[in-house]
Structure 1
Amino acid sequence: MEHSASSTRNAPLPPERPTLPRPQRPTLHARRRGKAMPRPRDVLELLKPITWFPPMWAFMCGAVSSGAGLDGRLWFVAGGVMLAGPLVCGTSQAVNDWFDRHVDAINEPDRPIPSGRIAGRWGLYIALIMTAISAVVGWLLGPLVFVAGLVGLALAWGYSAPPFRFKTSGWTGPAVVGFTYEGLSWFTGATVMLGALPATEVLIVLALYSIGAHGIMTLNDFKAVEGDRATGLKSLPVTMGVSGAARLACLTMAGAQVIVIALLAVWGITLSALIVGGVLAAQFAAMPKLLRDPAKYAPWYNGVGVTLYVLGMLAAALGLGGYI
């Protein structure tokens, strides 16, 4: 009995269960900060004004290609520029940042949403408000522009938002951006000026420049190859390799312009064909440097080659509009 009692006294006590910390309720200051309206400068940063230039340029090309004068349509043109750039393009940036906020919290924590400067669900609210404003402006500009605007908005959401998330594909993502930034904006510019569908020649050229823009968007993916690989985004530099994607981008951009040159010549728009041929020759001169080290020289080519590409767009538009 003594042995039994002694064993009982000396038996180890069961370990104490760890006490989990009680979750803290957010402070009044944190709750207020999440509900507070973001500052205008943070909203502007979210909408990324630097990205508005390509669709606004394409809109201008569309307006020029229509051959119509500004008489009585100045306000329509101003509204169309706003629709193509700050509204639809700005909406796409807000949508993208909202659905990428968790990744941005790791890779780019200083952006407006992950940094908390646009707190709570304000990023989503801004995207929804911008979508509504864009639709209203499109409606005011006429039924064709309204439909084009709705298509652009649908693609803006589909690019970043589940279940589609077109951006995860190196083929679909650049195609969507190229079509929206170049083709749809060009179409909107021509339609605003005419109040009707543009000529068949204009539609063909804007479609070709949209296809060529796939190469431009592929070059943009070179800056995030490692990040895309780590997060599972199947950009072409990831799936094809940097060299293969660079060659495809050059072929896509050049091929579209070769067809544009041939068509302009067939249609008798000779001066435009010569100018587009000249800027394409300058691009050919720049491409070998890009192909030597695509990862290093893609930003350089974006500044040189892409500038030449969009100048060719304007030359083609001037010819289609009868200005040269």
Structure 2
Amino acid sequence: MSVNSDLHPSRVGAAPSALLELLKPVTWFPPMWAYLCGIVSAGVWPGADWPLVVLGVVLAGPLVCGMSQAANDWCDRHVDAINQPERPIPSGRVPAGLALGVAVGMSVLALAAGWLLGPWGFGATVVAVACAWAYSAEPIRLKRSGWWGPGLVGLCYEGLPWFTGAAVLSAGAPSFFVILVALLYAIGAHGIMTLNDFKAIEGDRAMGIKSLPVVKGPEVAARIACVVMALPQALVIAMLLVWGKPWFALAVTAALLGQFAAMRVLLRDPEGLAPWYNAVGVSLYVSGMMVTAIAIRGMAV
């Protein structure tokens, strides 16, 4: 099936359902969850600041993440015409020009919402919006690299929202403990993003995108992803033990052991089972994040 993503020039609008599909609500959960982890890890009860909690969750999920999905789909419309022609832009259900307008408009809206979160929230929003465009858009287009692309997304999906939630609620720079665990879970998310690239191998290869599944092959890329996901969690477990949090360390260990079991299944057929792992293994991963956030709440240096 051949699809020209620049067809349908007469269409100027799109159904709400197609626009919602463009924003991919299923991808909003990780940054929203990470923001909540940041709030919990700060150890500060929101009190009268609950509107900041709600605004931050909306900003991390529907606004910034939704914007990044629209921008990525617009920048990837030719790749998607090969990999997933049923997506909103290549299928013609959302005109390319409208998708670009949505991405730009939501970028502006995200910055406005970030401004309401104070200097820390606004600064983090600026970084997040800039990274979203740097990942997808020419001439930077960091997604061409199987190392830099997933690393940037992992940072923006897990590390930056976690840092932001802690900074906004504490009205200042987060503690060393918060920054360290947020960074470790962001590094581990590199592996999650590598598995996400498995669905686009054919188009990535055709368009010169050097994702790890394209460059290394599915089997090797899956093993790299598993190691990258596991090592930061192992370090978190070790640190929790050093910090006198053995029960929390045990809970994170249980989550990691569950991931090991899922990884064994994944490695039987990496290309076919990557979506399954993203549902099962990633759920265990983010559960460990919240356990760690609870463990370090209120710890300060």
Contact 1:222 1:295 in 2 (8 A): yes
Which of 134, 145, 157 is the equivalent residue of 2:110?
134
Structure 1 residue 315 corresponds to structure 2 residue 291: yes
Per the alignment, residue 71 of structure 1 pairs with: 47
Per the alignment, residue 200 of structure 1 pairs with: 176
Contact 1:209 1:256 in 2 (8 A): yes
Contact 1:59 1:81 in 2 (8 A): yes
CA distance in 1, matches of 2:52, 2:32: 14
CA distance in 2, matches of 1:146, 1:198: 15
| Cα offset, 1:101, TM superposition | 1.9
- Once the two structures are superposed, residues 11-41 of structure 1 have per-residue CA deviations (whole angstroms, 9 ceiling, x without a partner) of xxxxxxxxxxxxxxxxxxx87x44x443433
CA distance in 2, matches of 1:282, 1:100: 34
2:267 is paired with a residue of what secondary structure? helix
- Once the two structures are superposed, residues 70-107 of structure 1 have per-residue CA deviations (whole angstroms, 9 ceiling, x without a partner) of 20111000100011000000110111111122333344
CA distance in 1, matches of 2:48, 2:258: 39
Which of 178, 181, 184 is the equivalent residue of 2:157?
181
List alignment gaps of at least 5 residues for structure 1.
Answer: 1-29
| Cα offset, 1:123, TM superposition | 1.4
1:164 is paired with a residue of what secondary structure? coil
| Cα offset, 1:116, TM superposition | 3.0
- Once the two structures are superposed, residues 104-162 of structure 1 have per-residue CA deviations (whole angstroms, 9 ceiling, x without a partner) of 33443332223333336211111111000000000111001101001000010011100
Per the alignment, residue 171 of structure 1 pairs with: 147
Per the alignment, residue 4 of structure 2 pairs with: none
Per the alignment, residue 81 of structure 2 pairs with: 105
Which of 197, 214, 227 is the equivalent residue of 2:190?
214
Per the alignment, residue 243 of structure 2 pairs with: 267
Structure 1 residue 280 corresponds to structure 2 residue 256: yes
Q: What is the letter of the counterpart of residue 213 of structure 2?
A: P
CA distance in 2, matches of 1:84, 1:120: 24
CA RMSD of aligned residues (A): 1.8
| Cα offset, 1:188, TM superposition | 1.4
CA distance in 2, matches of 1:318, 1:193: 15
CA distance in 2, matches of 1:164, 1:293: 33
Which of 78, 94, 97 is the equivalent residue of 2:70?
94
Contact 1:96 1:160 in 2 (8 A): yes
Q: Which has the larger displacement, 155-164 or 313-322? A: 313-322
1:292 is paired with a residue of what secondary structure? coil
CA distance in 2, matches of 1:318, 1:118: 42
Structure 1 residue 258 corresponds to structure 2 residue 242: no
For 1:25-104, list aligned pairs within 5 A: 33-34=10-11, 36-104=12-80
CA distance in 1, matches of 2:83, 2:229: 30
CA distance in 2, matches of 1:173, 1:264: 30
Per the alignment, residue 13 of structure 1 pairs with: none
Larger radius of gyration between Structure 1 and Structure 2: 1
Corresponding residue pairs, total: 292
Higher RCO (C-alpha under 8 Å, 6+ residues apart) = 2
| Cα offset, 1:171, TM superposition | 0.4
| Cα offset, 1:190, TM superposition | 1.1
Q: Which has the larger displacement, 294-303 or 259-268? A: 294-303
Q: Which has the larger displacement, 107-116 or 294-303? A: 107-116
List alignment gaps of at least 5 residues for structure 2.
Answer: 1-7
CA distance in 2, matches of 1:47, 1:151: 20
Q: Which has the larger displacement, 71-80 or 95-104? A: 95-104
Contact 1:271 1:319 in 2 (8 A): no
Contact 2:80 2:203 in 1 (8 A): no
CA distance in 2, matches of 1:144, 1:98: 29
Contact 2:83 2:200 in 1 (8 A): no
Q: What is the letter of the counterpart of residue 159 of structure 1?
A: Y
Per the alignment, residue 126 of structure 2 pairs with: 150
Per the alignment, residue 265 of structure 2 pairs with: 289
> Percent identity of the aligned residues?
57
Contact 1:104 1:111 in 2 (8 A): yes
